[in-house]
Amino acid sequence: MTQQSVEPKITAEDAGAGSRVPGGRSWLDRYFHISHRGSTVAREVRGGITTFMAMAYIVLLNPVILSGKDAAGDTLGQKALITATALAAAVTTLLMGFVGKVPLALAAGLSVSGVIAGQVVPQMTWPQAMGMCVMYGVVIMLLVVTGLREMIMNAIPLALKHGITMGIGLFIAIIGLVKGGFVHAGEATPLTLGPAGELAGWPVLLFAGTLLLIFMLQARNMPGAILIGIVTGTIVAAILNATGVIDPKQWANGAPELHGSAVSMPDFSLFGDLEFGGWGEVGAMTVGMIVFTLVLAGFFDAMATIIGVGTEAKLADDKGRMPGLSKALFIDGAGGAIGGVAGGSGQTVFVESATGVGEGARTGLASVVTGA
């Protein structure tokens, strides 16, 4: 006797508006397979907002990374970079939601932007660097179309995939500890406590308080625990900055200052500002190595994140494979090309998607909420 798969039972009360138990499901539920994956519309919306809150920093950080001069001595405008970063992230994340149907958000990859700023731009112009992003994105898409990328991911042993998942968790933890002021780069050791060798100051206290609040809410099974913690910590930090209680320089990356109007029209001047060719001074060998480096950075960065987040969302099977993997990988590759055309560097799957999954996100609806 064969065992038939049974869809998880979700009551109408748990499902909320727009999500019903199988047999009377809404078009939204049917399209994104919400109840089939054991989720609800409310959870997806909450998860999407949480992911957005966790990754919104990239809109300000990416322009800082790409603020240097190119080989011709030119720089990119910060307003245009912010527009390009936000535009590319929104488009690719919406594509992942509507087409990939998985809770993965995309934005400018720090690994890709780091390679662009540190290795590519010193040798060529910004338009040429954006052309490189398009080229590496096309290469990754070709790897997906030929099946090589998915073949490589499926060939990785399950134990190694679990190790990658744990590594992603440790990576996120280290980022949080550094941004919270708990640790920083040391001289004698890779990391040391606090900015002065000790745990002190408002940033550390606020970080610990926010983390404790999230843990307490999660222990009580409070819906939206992570989102509530992030919003509460942000509000308290804004109050401390506004009242002058804390010096903005104490924050890990400083605090943003508002100059002029709080609202302005986006600057699309970087859109389509890319160039293919004109690499005579660099040489074909160097161009090939740069594209190869970008492919490696984007390939393995996305692979680790997709495996980790997919496992956390319980979308992966006993061999670590997940539904819609080929579509997700193709959109991730397209993110490189879209980011290059927009002028904001290559886009890749963001590890902060795990925060939305932690809030219950299981489908592409969460990505649609994040991208919108």
Task: Tell whether 51 is covered by a domain.
Answer: yes
Question: Residue 359 domain-assigned?
Answer: yes
Please name every residue paired with 183 in a beta bridge, in sequence order, or none if there are none.
193
Residue found under tokens 């990988």 = 329
Quote the pLDDT of residue 156. Answer: 79
**Strand 347-349 to strand 106-108: parallel, antiparallel, or no bridges (unpaired)?**
antiparallel
Judged against a pLDDT cut of 70, whether residue 306 lies above it is answered with: yes
Q: How many domains does the chain have?
A: 1
Taking 3-state DSSP, the helix, strand and coil percentages for the chain, each rounded to the nearest 5, stand at 60, 5, 35
Considering the domain boundaries, does residue 231 fall inside one?
A: no
- CA distance readout (Å), 207 to 181, 201, 203, 211, 229: 8, 10, 6, 6, 10
Is 28 inside any structural domain? yes
The answer to the question of residue 228 being in a domain is no
Q: How far apart are CA 237 and CA 362, in angstroms?
A: 31
- Cα separation, 333 vs 301, in Å, equals 12
* Confidence (pLDDT) at 104: 93
CA–CA dist 9, 35 (Å, integer): 8
| 193 strand-pairing partners | 183
State mean pLDDT over 309-324: 78
Q: How far is CA 364 from CA 46, 103, 227, 354, in A?
A: 13, 5, 19, 13
pLDDT grade for 341, boundaries at 50, 70 and 90: very high
Q: How do residues 4-29 score in pLDDT, each as one tens digit? A: 433 444 443 344 434 444 455 788 88
The boundaries of the domain holding residue 74 are: 12-180+252-260+271-371
pLDDT at 346: 87
275, 277, 214, 209: which is closest to 237 by C-alpha? Answer: 209
- Position 365 scores a pLDDT of 94
227 falls within a domain: no
* 152 assigned to some structural domain: yes
pTM, rounded to two decimals:
0.78
pLDDT given at position 3: 40
pLDDT digits (tens, 9 = 90+) for 278-294: 676 777 888 888 888 88
What SS3 class is residue 154? helix
Residue 119 lies in a domain: yes
Instruction: Please report which confidence band the pLDDT of residue 193 belongs to, taking 50, 70 and 90 as the band edges.
Output: confident
Per-residue model confidence (pLDDT) at position 253 = 57
- Using one digit for the tens of pLDDT, what is the confidence trace for 108-132? 987 788 888 888 888 888 888 898 8
pLDDT in tens, 345-364: 889 998 889 889 988 899 99
d(CA 334, CA 328): 10
